[in-house]
């Protein structure tokens, strides 16, 4: 959100702000975006590009050999086959969040049950027996599927999205659940429901999922169903939700947005988007307590989990299962190894 543009090769001065940046960019320009530093390089040189080749450094034996300490987990967030390869390369403990909607976005259409099955199969094959958590199609708000927009909403972030959308779209839910059900005969499958609002809604969608799985032979034996905690009301009902689900995962990107009524993608309000806020950490403690009371696993898959020193605070809060971008796995894992060794 605090983007700076550097365009040494063109003699353009360093500027900040999206509007300034766009004045220098022409159709066909090459941009290199460093999301970690918020830097955009206009017309990068081959040498600049080379320094950004993903995970070159992560191939070293020390990184791959480093194990996550016992009782902890460092999984990868993934959206594409390439992410799964990167996750495997850095020896992730699994995929903690596979964002299935990205494949639909890329295809610009709905995918059939068979197409989904093939795609998800490829992901579990790459992960070679490690657990993969597939998040059901998470549509709406910052993730519109343009080819499906039926009706214009004045407030899409509070509208037809997440679990609500899934419950109201049986023709979309069914093929996805059936594809995952078929996959569960080959590998254990975790199904995660986005944007759960409360226990009643979780019960409704869990029942709908089980009903669909009953039509797929043996599918109920190898599947776990989990809830994402990213809406404050769901966090307040965590105890009740944990009675229904097998696991929970904190989507802190949206949780911060809804907890503090602050748009996760709006540069104007990014100062109020604060992962250090004590209210957020109080909410995380509440979730951690509900998970240990229920004896069911809780992970976190929002971006904050990959920020330096956050893993330490999370472990102190009782949250020991983290899912982060694959390229952050080596540093997160070594931070966790440090805590375990301390």
**Active site positions, annotated:** 2, 301
Residue among 6, 76, 99, 237 that touches ligand PEP (CB under 6 A): 99
Q: Position of tokens 């994402």? A: 228
The site for ligand PEP, by CB under 6 A, has a size of: 10
Question: Minimum Å distance from CB 28 to ligand PEP?
Answer: 30
252 binding partner (options ligand PEP, Mg ion, none; Cβ < 5 to 8 Å by kind): ligand PEP
Residue among 254, 287, 294, 324 that touches ligand PEP (CB under 6 A): 254
Assign 163 to helix, strand or coil: helix
> Under the criterion CB under 6 A, does residue 182 sit at the interface with ligand PEP?
no
Asked if residue 66 lies in contact with residue 333, where contact means CB atoms within 8 angstroms, the answer is yes
Q: Looking at beta carbons only, is 63 or 136 nearer to ligand PEP?
A: 136
Asked if residue 307 lies in contact with residue 275, where contact means CB atoms within 8 angstroms, the answer is yes
Question: Measuring CA to CA, which residue among 103, 158, 160, 108 is closest to residue 136?
Answer: 103
Q: How far apart are CA 106 and CA 115, in angstroms?
A: 13
Beta bridge partners of 299: 249, 321
Question: Measuring CA to CA, which residue among 70, 88, 53, 102 is closest to residue 315?
Answer: 70
Q: Contact region for ligand PEP (CB under 6 A) — 119-127, 181-189, 245-253, 309-317?
A: 245-253
Q: Contact region for ligand PEP (CB under 6 A) — 40-48, 157-165, 247-255, 266-274?
A: 247-255
For 175-236, give the DSSP string.
HHHHHHHHHTTTS-EEEEETT---HHHHHHHHHHHHHHHTTSTTGGGGEEEEEEE-SHHHHH
Q: Position of tokens 């610009």? A: 108
- Angle (deg, nearest 10), helices 252-259 and 278-294: 130
Contact characters 101-140, ligand PEP, x per CB under 6 A: -------------------------------------x--
Residue among 140, 162, 248, 302 that touches ligand PEP (CB under 6 A): 302
Which residues 6+ apart lie within 8 Å of 8 measured at CB? none
Contacts (CB under 5 A) with Mg ion, residues 220-259: 230, 251, 254
Residue among 137, 193, 280, 301 that touches ligand PEP (CB under 6 A): 301
> Under the criterion CB under 6 A, does residue 320 sit at the interface with ligand PEP?
no
Q: What residues line the site for Mg ion (CB under 5 A)? A: 230, 251, 254
Q: What residues line the site for ligand PEP (CB under 6 A)? A: 97, 99, 138, 230, 251-254, 301-302
């Amino acid at each position: 959100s605090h983007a700076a543009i550097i365009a040494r090769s063109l003699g353009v001065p360093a500027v900040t702000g999206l509007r300034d940046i766009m004045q220098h960019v022409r159709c066909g320009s090459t941009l290199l975006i460093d999301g970690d530093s918020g830097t955009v390089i206009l017309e990068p040189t081959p040498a600049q590009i080379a320094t950004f080749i993903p995970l070159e450094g992560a191939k070293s034996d020390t990184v791959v050999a480093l194990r996550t300490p016992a009782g902890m987990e460092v999984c990868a967030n993934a959206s594409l086959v390439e992410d799964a390869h990167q996750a495997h390369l850095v020896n992730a403990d699994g995929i903690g969040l596979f964002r299935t909607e990205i494949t639909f976005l890329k295809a610009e259409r709905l995918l059939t049950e068979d197409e989904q099955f093939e795609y998800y199969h490829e992901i579990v094959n790459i992960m070679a027996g490690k657990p993969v958590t597939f998040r059901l199609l998470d549509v709406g708000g910052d993730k519109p599927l343009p080819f499906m927009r039926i009706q214009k909403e004045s407030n899409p972030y509070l509208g037809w999205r997440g679990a609500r959308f899934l419950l109201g779209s049986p023709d979309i839910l069914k093929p996805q659940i059936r594809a995952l059900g078929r996959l569960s005969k080959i590998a254990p499958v975790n199904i995660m429901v986005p944007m759960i609002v409360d226990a009643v809604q979780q019960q409704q969608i869990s029942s709908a999922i089980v009903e669909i799985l009953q039509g797929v032979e043996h599918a109920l034996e190898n599947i776990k169903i989990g809830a994402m905690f990213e809406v404050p009301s769901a966090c307040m009902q965590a105890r009740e939700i944990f009675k229904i689900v097998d696991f929970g995962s904190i989507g802190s990107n949206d949780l911060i947005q809804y907890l503090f009524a602050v748009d996760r993608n709006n540069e104007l309000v990014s100062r109020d988007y604060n992962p250090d806020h004590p209210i957020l950490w109080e909410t995380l403690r509440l979730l951690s307590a509900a998970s240990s009371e229920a004896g069911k696993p809780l992970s976190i898959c929002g971006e904050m989990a990959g920020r330096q020193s956050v893993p330490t605070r999370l472990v102190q809060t009782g949250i020991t299962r983290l899912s982060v971008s694959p390229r952050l796995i080596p540093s997160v894992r070594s931070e966790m190894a440090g805590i375990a060794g301390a």
